[in-house]
Amino acid sequence: MPLDFYRDPLFGQTMITLMAAAVLVLQITAVAQKSIVANIYVFAVQSFLLAAIANTIAWFNNAPHIYLAALLTFLLKSLVLPAILLKLVERIQIGHELKPLLNVPVSVLISGLLTLLAYVIAEPLQHGAPASGPASLGHNTLPVAVALFLIGFFLMANRRKALSQVLALLSLENGLFLAAISLTYGMPMIVEIGVFFDVLVAVLVLAILVGRIRDAFDSMDVTRLSRLRG
């Protein structure tokens, strides 16, 4: 197949659309999944797809700084953070979100409604975007980015385990990353590096906190923090 085919913006748009759809499906899968270990792998695959989306946009727009953002996303979110979280799960010996506040069918239904809301919110923001060509790549992923953000917030509210709330926070941040890529083709590189560093530090701090909660309460259920008294 000639190399020119891989320079065709229509091909790039098709690939980005398929990967964005897979990212959204994975987000809803995380809502329906009770296993924390499975959720970690879902986050890793989702992050890999986001890195691939950023890499595709960089390829068609000759944007080296987006290549770097894609590489950082792949290394940090697909490899380093999942490895840290899996190690934490192994140490505290717990792998399931036993009792989310809402059951799985209701949670999936709410996620579907949040996805519809995301498309309603994103519609006005897409007016004026280029209709075709390399500059248009990724703009149609904004509804998916908003959906990731909204569902991430819902997961944080619905989950009891501290570790599953960490994963919800990370999926929410994935939505912010996709929105930055789809709207502006990335923030200034120094800002992106700072965000990645902040995410890494936040996860390390939260991992320590999760361990402390486990040691103090023999559980990761954050509702037990209400037992604390001054």
Q: pLDDT tens digits, residue range 117-126?
A: 999 988 877 6
- Select, from the ranges 7-11, 43-47, 63-67, 160-164, the one with the highest average predicted confidence (pLDDT): 43-47
Chain mean pLDDT for the chain: 78
Share of the chain above pLDDT 70, in %: 68
- In terms of pLDDT, which residue wins out, 43 or 169? 43
Q: What is the pLDDT of residue 24?
A: 94
Dist CA 225 CA 220 (whole Å): 10
pLDDT category at 114 given cuts 50, 70, 90 is very high
- In terms of pLDDT, which residue wins out, 110 or 91? 110
Cβ atoms 84, 14 nearer than 8 A: no
Q: What is the pLDDT of residue 190?
A: 47
Q: Which whole number is the average pLDDT over 17-23?
A: 93
* Sign of the Cα pseudo-torsion (69, 191, 25, 61, in order): negative
Q: What is the pLDDT of residue 146?
A: 92
Dist CA 163 CA 147 (whole Å): 21
- Select, from the ranges 33-47, 113-127, 190-204, 211-225, the one with the highest average predicted confidence (pLDDT): 33-47
Share of the chain above pLDDT 90, in %: 25
Q: Tell me, what amino acid is at 57?
A: I
What digits encode the pLDDT tens for the residues 66-105?
A: 888 888 889 888 998 899 888 888 877 766 665 778 888 9
Cβ atoms 152, 179 nearer than 8 A: no
Q: Is 99 left (phi over 0), alpha (psi -120 to 50) or beta?
A: beta
In the predicted structure, residue 202 carries a pLDDT above the cut 80:
no
Q: Which whole number is the average pLDDT over 41-45?
A: 94
What digits encode the pLDDT tens for the residues 135-176?
A: 667 778 889 999 999 999 999 888 877 778 888 888 888 888
pLDDT category at 1 given cuts 50, 70, 90 is very low
Backbone angles phi, psi at 96, to 5 degrees: -135, 145
Task: Give the H or E element holding residue 145.
Answer: helix 142-158
